[in-house]
Chain A
Amino acid sequence: MSQLIFERSVPFRRAVRFDACDVPEVVLDEKYVRQSKARLPEVSEVDIVRHYMELSRYSFGVDNGFYPLGSCTMKYNPKLNEFTASLDGFTTIHPDQSLSSVTGTLELMDNLSISLSEITGMDAFTLQPAAGAHGEFTGLLLIRAYHNAHNDNKRTKVIVPDSSHGTNPASASMAGYTVVSVPSNEMGGVDVEALKAVLNDEVAALMLTNPNTLGLFDPNICEISKLVHDIGGLLYYDGANLNAIMGTARPGDMGFDVVHLNLHKTFSTPHGGGGPGSGPVGVKSCLVPYLPQGTLIKETYGYRYIDERDTLSIGRMRSYYGNFLVNVRAYTYILSLGSDGLKTASQNAVLNANYMMNALKDTFPVAYPQTCMHEFVVSLADLKKETGINAKDICKALLDYQMHPPTMYFPLIVHEALMIEPTETESKESMDNFIQVLKDLKQLAYDNPQKILNAPYTTPVKRVDDVQAARNPILKFQHK
């Protein structure tokens, strides 16, 4: 494949040059000074451009093709958002500038918070968390501060469904909670009887996503909400699946006390190869006193940030105010779609998922046979039993068709799971194409399984040796 940029190095090559320094030299004590230059690549600008162009050819984004990754909401990233996020008036601003010099930014952040509150049915938002998991950790600290302020310190446990995303229990542990797992029923929803058995006055909160990780709306949500509140616990909403219900239903109305959103999922901001995201947290008014420092609030005389005067605040979750430029993109998106567009976006996300599920239900068994929300899960357990071809093999075979495979092996409650989420921006033709490819691959698994086991054929590298990578980690370039 390609060379590492270090391997393109030629001594004394340079890309960017600076003018000579216009002020006198300074001599620092040599104990502080580097004795030899860092061995960074020495390359020309042409080298750099060709290098990264090559790397871009070996990358695959939503802009390249179909990306039905369940639970990731890989919808189209509008280019308008890139323009607005690159305006000088947003990018070339120091976060410690006086509030009077950033009135446009403050207005944007406030409008975004208000919009997100309306979309989710919550009372207030902090835009500070940098990602969903960061939002979860923030939310759990808010919950803990709440109970602490009410002298309710017996509450050491957080309940998490066994179908949940790994960040949920991990975030609970970071907040010092003991995690109690509750089983899901066959619909992927919380098993209400099992939940009743673990709810008591030691429980601080239940973390849920709705629709759940099988892509189904939990019909028991109101009962669950009541059960949790009756024992004095709070209800946490993992907003990863919000794309199913915008404009139709709201977590605030379902009884959730605190919510995090993934702007890089529901609100179209790009994934960037793994980040940056943004995980704003919305709360009901009972949790407002605990919001983190660096959250923008509006008082009668104007804006200010929550700071050390707000003694009930949980503290500070990160430097400054959040991934601001990501928030600009989400705000642009919300303005573009508006109340009508956000609703039809979610409706079409659900339509597209059901369309695909209906077309595939005779090919692979669907985890639960019911109208799904924005995603659905199929199981390849039977295929594995009958042909030896498993979910991972099918995913590797898909790589040859210029599309990204679905999410595999999540949620953990379904064997040989493939979770498919087309999103609303996908066209009927591209979905039809994917459906046909899956059907063809299933047939191939019976006719000629070896052909699948040897896939992929057309990617720049073939199946990668993960075991070697973990056993003998090589984590940086080794200079000769």
Chain B
Amino acid sequence: MADYLSNTPNQQEVMLKELGFNTLEELYSNLPQDLILQRPLNLELGQSEFKVLDTLKELASKNKVYKTILRGAGVEHHYIPSVVKQLSNREEFVSAYTPYQSELSQGILQSIFEYQSSMCEITGMDVCNASVYDGATAAAEAIQMVIEKNKRKILVPKNIHPQVVHVMKTYTQWLNIEIVDVECKEGVVDIDDLKSKLSDQSAALFIQHPNYFGCLEDVQDLAQIAHSFGAKLVQYTNPMTLGYLKSPRANGVDIAIGEAQPLGIPMSYGGPFLGFMSASADLVRRLPGRIAGQTVDENGKRAFALTLQAREQHIRREKASSSICSNQALMALTASMYLASVGPSGLKEVAEYSMRKAHYFANELVKLGFKLKYNSPFFHEFVTVGPVENSVIERSLDEINVLSGLGLSSHETLWCCTETTKKEDIDRVISRLKEVLS
């Protein structure tokens, strides 16, 4: 049995005696005695490392690890460089606490500063926080950044990831904030419907680009429209795509947020992930969560510290806009390492290749009789309407160890390709589907 105690029973006895106790139980004599559990916890006794590892391996082996993964919807299978896996496991990073003691934690603080800087580079923004839980909660937190006394409406198109929208609604359900749906046409925001719903009470328009269906939005146009009504534009995005696509800031976006799992973090069955939040300089004091800043020490040497803490819960308490304390620091470090490993050229390649594979695959599917649901340009994801039910597609591809795209309805599938999707695997999938369709 592992308990990771250092002190032996003998040492414990010596310490107890020094305190005037005979047994460990006596340490609890101040507690109301009827609260003391009179039986052991109804769990198995502790086990050796050998046995525990066996148990966990057995559980892991019951899960199916697909060789080819064509499912995305915000969680993607990309290549994770070995240097990232290795370095992000260093015990000094993994077992460290939040770097409140700056002098002892310059390494961690600098790594946060570098993460913030890298994310600002790809989004074009001036400021970025040290992370929040995931993309969906980043969207929910961004609402608090844009709300004003007389602007309490948030416009949300129907082509944003449904889980993201749902979290936004859950977070604001008791807060006198209205979430207004905006219709979509051909997979992208319906401009006429948008204009009919914007008003001077609109705090912001949220968009996802590339959106949930993989389609590309005309962000610059949407920025102009939103701003003309005095509303901000918030873009939810997959940061991997920003290696190739125009940065949010260049398109006039005020706040860029999203899920950064594609940047070096495994799919992990849903977590831990990485919510990022970046914004223009004027919004810095409305960003939630920790932020690392550059300063100097008493000798004028460059140093880093957590700063602008007066925004946070430990100072503002009930006046804080967010209760966030623990964030996703280690995942931010991982993403930062990933961005350094691939560099600007590599990130461009990852994005570009993902896009090219998706287009190749889409073309092949169309030849087989699938239809592209939306007549709009797309990036690395796309929706098909199939000649057979999605469940048939899923099952037949499962048999060749391929995870098919996400079924959106009986005949609709959302496909995703990444730089790891080999042409030969796409061709294999096409052959298989050809068999199934005949």
Contacts and interface: CB of A to CB of B under 8 A. Distances in A.
Interface string B72-83: 011101010101
Given A130-B137, A170-B318, A93 B117 contact: no
Interface stretch (A95-103, A194-202, A375-383, A437-445): A95-103
Given A63-B91, A315-B166, A319-B136, A248 B36 contact: yes
A326 interface: yes
A274 interface: yes
Contact of B36 (A249, A317, A345, A459): A249
A168 B166 CA distance: 24
Contacts of B282: none
Contact of A48 (B108, B135, B341): B341
Contacts of A275: 131, 272, 326-331
A69 B99 CA distance: 12
A246 B40 CA distance: 10
B15 interface: yes
B347 interface: yes
A1 B57 CA distance: 43
A89 B246 contact: no
Contacts of A35: 246, 250
Contact of B59 (A107, A430, A468, A469): A107
Of A167, A246, A347, most B-chain CB atoms within 10 Å = A167
A45 B342 CA distance: 10
A193 interface: no
A354 to B, nearest CB: 6
Interface string B238-273: 000011111100100000000100000011111111
Nearest to A133: B323
A39 to B, nearest CB: 5
Contacts of A475: 113, 116, 126-128, 284, 291-294, 307
B64 A101 contact: yes
A334 B296 CA distance: 44
Interface stretch (B48-56, B198-206, B227-235, B428-436): B48-56
A105 B59 contact: yes
B4 to A, nearest CB: 5
A118 B42 contact: yes
A474 B305 CA distance: 10
A23 B361 CA distance: 9
B37 A248 contact: yes
B297 A96 contact: no
B174 A176 contact: yes
A217 B107 contact: no
B387 to A, nearest CB: 22
Nearest to B28: A248
B273 A319 contact: yes
A38 B344 contact: yes
B96 A61 contact: yes
Contacts of B356: 21, 23-26
B272 A325 contact: yes
A316 interface: yes
Contacts of B304: 464
Contact of B62 (A5, A84, A89, A131): A89
B312 to A, nearest CB: 8
19 contacts: A5-B340, A15-B83, A23-B356, A41-B339, A87-B56, A90-B268, A102-B64, A130-B272, A131-B327, A245-B28, A248-B28, A274-B112, A278-B272, A319-B74, A319-B161, A340-B46, A466-B102, A469-B294, A474-B295
Contacts of B66: 94, 97
B396 interface: no
Interface residues of A, number: 198
Given A167-B325, A473-B293, A18 B47 contact: no
B35 A249 contact: yes
A173 B318 contact: yes
Interface stretch (A49-57, A228-236, A281-289): A49-57
Given A167-B313, A167-B325, A316-B166, A89 B60 contact: yes
B222 interface: no
B88 to A, nearest CB: 8
A93 B7 contact: no
Given A102-B64, A174-B323, A32 B246 contact: yes
Contacts of B116: 475-476
B106 interface: yes
A339 interface: yes
B319 interface: yes
A354 B26 CA distance: 12
A340 B97 contact: no
Nearest to A477: B117
Nearest to A42: B343
Contacts of A54: 107
Contacts of B328: 130, 275-276
B122 A38 contact: yes
B170 A474 contact: no
A273 B333 contact: yes
A194 B30 CA distance: 23
Contacts of A67: 97
B65 A399 contact: no
Given A5-B340, A320-B269, A338-B43, A174 B83 contact: no
B93 A325 contact: no
B180 interface: no
Given A293-B166, A347-B27, A16 B341 contact: yes
Given A29-B377, A336-B46, A470 B52 contact: no
Contacts of B101: 395, 399, 404-405
Contact of A276 (B99, B266, B330): B330
A338 B47 contact: yes
Contact of A222 (B35, B52, B134): B35
Interface in A280-303: 292-293
Interface string A372-408: 0000000000000000000000011001000011000
Given A42-B344, A273-B329, 15 more contacts: A31-B220, A91-B267, A94-B77, A96-B73, A104-B61, A170-B320, A246-B41, A271-B326, A276-B330, A319-B167, A334-B43, A350-B24, A351-B15, A399-B101, A473-B291
Interface in B316-354: 316-320, 322-331, 333, 337, 339-350, 352-353
B40 A340 contact: yes
A184 interface: no
Contacts of A345: 3-5
A355 interface: yes
Nearest to B106: A58
B245 to A, nearest CB: 6
Contacts of B1: 336-338, 340-341
Interface string A221-262: 110000000000000000000000111111001100000001
Contacts of A369: none
A412 to B, nearest CB: 9
Contacts of A217: 28, 30-31
B174 A23 contact: no
A37 B245 CA distance: 10
A23 B121 contact: no
Nearest to A76: B4
B150 interface: no
A103 B137 contact: no
Contacts of B11: 428
Contact of B326 (A64, A104, A219, A276): A276
Given A38-B347, A277-B326, A219 B99 contact: no
A166 B314 contact: yes
Of A1, A32, A253, A318, most B-chain CB atoms within 10 Å = A318
